[in-house]
Amino acid sequence: MQEYRTEHDSMGEMKVPAERYWGAQTQRSYENFPIGWEKMPREIIRAFAVLKEAAARANAALRPDKMTQEKKGAIEKVCEEILEGGLSEEFPLAVWQTGSGTQTNMNVNEVIANRGNELLGKKILHPNDDVNMSQSSNDTYPSAMKMAAAILIHDELLPAVRVLTETFKRLEKENEGIVTSGRTHLQDAVPVAFSQEIFGWRGMLERDAKQLESALENLYELAIGGTAVGTGLNAPQGFGDLCAEHIGKITGLPFVSSENKFHALTSADAYVFAHGALKALAADLMKIANDIRWLASGPRNGLGEILIPENEPGSSIMPGKVNPTQCEAITMIAVQVMGNDAAVGMAASQGNFQLNVFLPVMAYNFLQSARLLTDGILSFEKRCVSGIKANKEKMQENLNRSLMLVTVLSPVIGYEKAAEVAKKAHKEGLTLKEAVLKLGYMSEKAFDEVFKPEEMV
């Protein structure tokens, strides 16, 4: 039978499950917002743990009479416990709650206070007076969501992009000298080296990484120190800067307190900009994955110019069928990220006066995008890209059949005659050489001197 204890807040008493560390405000939110299955992302909770630890250190330096070393030590211990993966069941609140994230801020405050008091063996920590000292939900949640985004991009997404980039570098070297058909408008085009095609893919990822790094600069500016409306009321002078300094020491990232707190509390433009970089990465991954699955199509009735790893059966009814499933997964992720971008942009536009109250939905969509891209890229690289092999024979066969090799004749016989050669070859099933000789536009020797596909790249 469930046992309860009685907790209270400014609105009165609440029954809370006896085994939980959260308090009355968390319980109210838990009961008042039974909406969906989407819970506050773990990255937000971890960011809050960093922020609360940093805030305790800053308060201990600036307000030692109130934030004693004993209190600071207890807060630090609980925050480290959260960062190490403990207490995960203590953060049950839905994304679909107050738009400022106040209830999640209080959830973290209550858990830290109650767990800290348990560690101390006495009740000296208060969730508002101590854990939330010099802060407001209005500056902590915007700070936490930026921290979570920056940490995820810097520590996980960018390294994943670099892993895939390095794999493409290896594939470039392995496939040097292989010439294949170029394709534009889904039609045959002039030849291209397979290594050049891979180089194009690599270039996309390198540019995406630069754009993500650029976006990080804005995410490093935090609202902390602005408290309720940007004025810094109830926070000592220098608190925001000192708190951000401690956040930087804990995370190893160059977080700072924004010079313009009024902007930091109400605007989410940094989130929009950064998610735009996520969308750009998603768009490039969509293109790369589609190229790979088209080139691997077949095995007999498609292009079949590359071979990719065969990971699992592809059909419940067609024996032996194998599908480009990793390509399909990454393209679905790309679609999700593009949808999330619309939600982030719309939510960011809803800042009213001194606060935006669409913060949790922005954080949820942004972090989902970054997490899906990170996991998807690593899976795509490991289970697909790293095993790509060129089907040289098929590439050569398709190249030899391409009518667009006629382009190399254009400077010699002119564009219109070259077009005539291509049309004649296609209509009569001839090779380009046979067509040009039939039309009498070149001698066999002259044709052989010019027509060298391997030199066209």
Residue 80 included in any domain: yes
Residue 159 included in any domain: yes
**Could you tell me how many residues make up the chain?**
457
| Amino acid letter, 263 | H
Per-residue pLDDT of the chain (457 residues; tens, 9 = 90+): 899 999 999 999 999 999 999 999 999 999 999 999 999 999 999 999 999 999 999 999 999 999 999 999 999 999 999 999 999 999 999 999 999 999 999 999 999 999 999 999 999 999 999 999 999 999 999 999 999 999 999 999 999 999 999 999 999 999 999 999 999 999 999 999 999 999 999 999 999 999 999 999 999 999 999 999 999 999 999 999 999 999 999 999 999 999 999 999 999 999 999 999 999 999 999 999 999 999 999 988 999 999 999 988 888 888 888 899 999 999 999 999 999 999 999 999 999 999 999 999 999 999 999 999 999 999 999 999 999 999 999 999 999 889 889 999 999 999 999 999 999 999 999 999 999 999 999 999 999 999 888 888 9
pTM (2 decimals)? 0.96
* Residues annotated catalytic, as ranges: 185, 315
| Amino acid letter, 282 | A
Residue 185 included in any domain: no
pLDDT tens digits for 163-176? 999 999 999 999 99
Residues 104 and 145 in one domain: no
Residues 10 and 113 in one domain: yes
Residue 289 included in any domain: yes
Residue finishing a domain among 133, 168, 186: 133
Query: Contact 338/279 with Cβ under 8 angstroms?
Result: yes
Residues 154 and 291 in one domain: yes
Residues 154 and 276 in one domain: yes
pLDDT tens digits for 140-167? 999 999 999 999 999 999 999 999 999 9
Query: Contact 427/421 with Cβ under 8 angstroms?
Result: no
The angle, 0 to 180 degrees and rounded to 10, between the axes of the packed helices 239-251 and 42-62 is 130
Residue 188 included in any domain: no
Residue finishing a domain among 340, 365, 393: 393
Residues 204 and 301 in one domain: yes
Residue 407 included in any domain: yes
Domain with 263 in it: what CATH number? 1.20.200.10
Which letter does DSSP use for residue 429 in this model? T
Residues 65 and 172 in one domain: no
Residues 146 and 103 in one domain: no
**Calpha distance 31→24 (Å, rounded):** 11
Residues 436 and 315 in one domain: no
Residues 146 and 37 in one domain: no
What Rg, from alpha-carbon coordinates, does the chain have? 30
Domain with 408 in it: what CATH number? 1.10.40.30
Residues 284 and 164 in one domain: yes
Residues 72 and 124 in one domain: yes
As given in the structure block, the two tokens for residue 184 are 């534009």
* Number of folded domains that form the chain: 3
Residue 246 included in any domain: no
| Amino acid letter, 452 | K
| Amino acid letter, 346 | M
Residue 184 included in any domain: no
Beta bridge pairs of residue 252: none
Residues 295 and 154 in one domain: yes
**Long-range Cβ contact pairs of 195-204 (< 8 A, separation 24 or more):** 195/171, 196/457, 197/291, 198/168, 198/171, 198/172, 199/168, 199/172, 201/168, 201/288, 201/291, 202/165, 202/168, 202/169, 202/172, 204/284, 204/287, 204/288
Domain with 30 in it: what CATH number? 1.10.275.10
Residue finishing a domain among 345, 376, 393: 393
Range of the structural domain that residue 81 is part of: 4-133
